[in-house]
């Protein structure tokens, strides 16, 4: 069995702990990771842990994990205390985007970042977004999860002043092409300054938001001193 070497110093370097990416790992390998790291860390995040593989873990390990079948994430131990009341907004075009949006939300919460989720506000019913836009604008950073043509990413980019992180999803028919169309639409957005992560990468979108929030906190601390 290949040895898993955990990066214990990552938070010191970049402000983020390493997560365990479970796709491609067997249940036995994940069990070994839990055995190696339980008790050593305050908390540990597992991503892309599908329900079948979760069910194959030993019963004692399943009992230790806070598992979310929607996002395929699990948390061992404790989340960090929430840092501040201003939550990162996660705006999802439809309920089909929820698994990716929830992966982002769980990653943020694990890292102590408050979150507000806005579901089913896609541009096919633009009034739904406009009814919530004032709430969304209260957030310091927005993650927008959208598939198909990903038009929501550009629309939010034209309405929100802070950092906008586009999360293209693999939702859609035919030429949506497993999220490739959504990714390209976001990359070609006419809304200036929109940042894109890879298809279905809710974890990566959350990490981008956490980096932005870390910079904001450092700037705020500098102003206070």
Q: How far is CA 172 from CA 157, 178, 213, in A?
A: 21, 7, 31
Range of the domain at 178: 88-217
- Give the C-alpha separation, 127 to 118, whole Å: 14
Q: Name the domain boundary from 22, 47, 77.
A: 77
- The secondary structure element, H or E, covering residue 154 is helix 151-157
Q: Has residue 173 been placed in a domain?
A: yes
Q: Are residues 103 and 187 in the same domain?
A: yes
Residues 127 and 211 in one domain: yes
The verdict on 22 and 120 lying in the same domain is: no
Residue by residue, pLDDT tens for the chain (225 residues) are 556 778 788 888 988 888 999 999 999 999 999 998 887 778 899 999 999 999 999 999 999 999 999 999 999 987 776 765 678 999 999 999 999 999 999 999 999 999 999 999 999 999 999 999 999 999 999 999 999 999 999 999 999 999 999 999 999 999 999 999 999 999 999 999 999 999 999 999 999 999 999 888 877 777 665
Answer yes or no: is 60 within a domain.
yes
| pLDDT at residue 225, as a whole number | 57
Residues 58 and 112 in one domain: no
Do 202 and 106 lie in a common domain? yes
pLDDT for 50: 96
> Do 108 and 135 fall into the same domain?
yes
Q: What does the alpha-carbon distance between residue 218 and residue 225 come to, in Å, rounded to a whole number?
A: 11
Residues 89 and 206: their CA atoms lie apart, in Å, by 10
Q: Rounded to two decimals, what is the model's pTM? A: 0.91
Query: Quick one: 19 and 58 in the same domain?
Result: yes
Residues 136, 180: one domain?
yes
Per-residue confidence (pLDDT) for residue 218, from 0 to 100: 78
Does residue 115 sit within a domain? yes
Which pLDDT belongs to residue 84?
59
Note whether 139 and 197 are same-domain residues: yes
2 is a domain residue: no
Q: What is the pLDDT of residue 101?
A: 97
Considering the domain architecture, whether residues 191 and 123 belong to the same structural domain is answered as yes
Domain final residue pick, 77, 105, 122: 77
Both 105 and 179 in a single domain?
Answer: yes
| Res 2: pLDDT | 57
Q: 2-41 burial string, b = 16+ CB within 10 Å, else e?
A: eeeeeeeeeeeeebbbebbebeebebeebbbbbeebeeee
Identify the pLDDT of residue 83: 65
Output the domain CATH number for residue 151.
3.40.50.1970
**In angstroms, rounded to a whole number, what is the distance separating the alpha carbons of residues 185 and 196?**
10
Q: What region does 174 belong to: left with phi over 0, alpha with psi -120 to 50, or beta? A: left
Cα separation of 204 and 197, whole Å? 7
Residue 5 in any domain: the answer is no
130 beta partners: none
Residues 97 and 29 in one domain: no
CA distance 100 to 81: 23
State the total domains in the chain: 2
Structural contact between residues 185 and 154, judged by C-beta atoms closer than 8 angstroms: yes
């Amino acid at each position: 069995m290949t040895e898993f070497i955990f990066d214990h110093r990552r938070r010191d370097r970049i402000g983020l702990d390493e997560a365990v990416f479970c796709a491609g790992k067997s249940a036995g390998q994940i069990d070994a990771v839990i055995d190696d790291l339980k008790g050593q860390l305050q908390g540990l995040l597992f991503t892309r842990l599908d329900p079948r593989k979760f069910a194959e873990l030993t019963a004692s390990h399943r009992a230790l994990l806070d598992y979310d079948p929607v996002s395929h994430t699990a948390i061992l131990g404790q989340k960090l205390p929430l840092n501040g009341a201003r939550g990162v907004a996660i705006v999802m075009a439809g309920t089909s985007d929820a698994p990716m949006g929830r992966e982002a939300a769980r990653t943020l919460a694990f890292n102590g970042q408050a979150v507000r989720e806005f579901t089913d506000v896609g541009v096919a019913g633009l009034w739904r977004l406009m009814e919530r836009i004032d709430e969304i604008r209260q957030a310091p950073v927005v993650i927008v999860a959208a598939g198909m043509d990903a038009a929501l990413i550009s629309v939010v980019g034209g309405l929100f002043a802070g950092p906008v992180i586009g999360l293209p999803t693999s939702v859609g028919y035919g030429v949506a092409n497993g999220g490739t169309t959504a990714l390209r639409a976001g990359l070609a957005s006419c809304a200036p300054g929109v940042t894109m992560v890879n298809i279905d990468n809710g974890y990566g979108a959350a990490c981008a938001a956490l980096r932005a929030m870390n910079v904001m906190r450092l700037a705020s601390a500098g102003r206070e001193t």
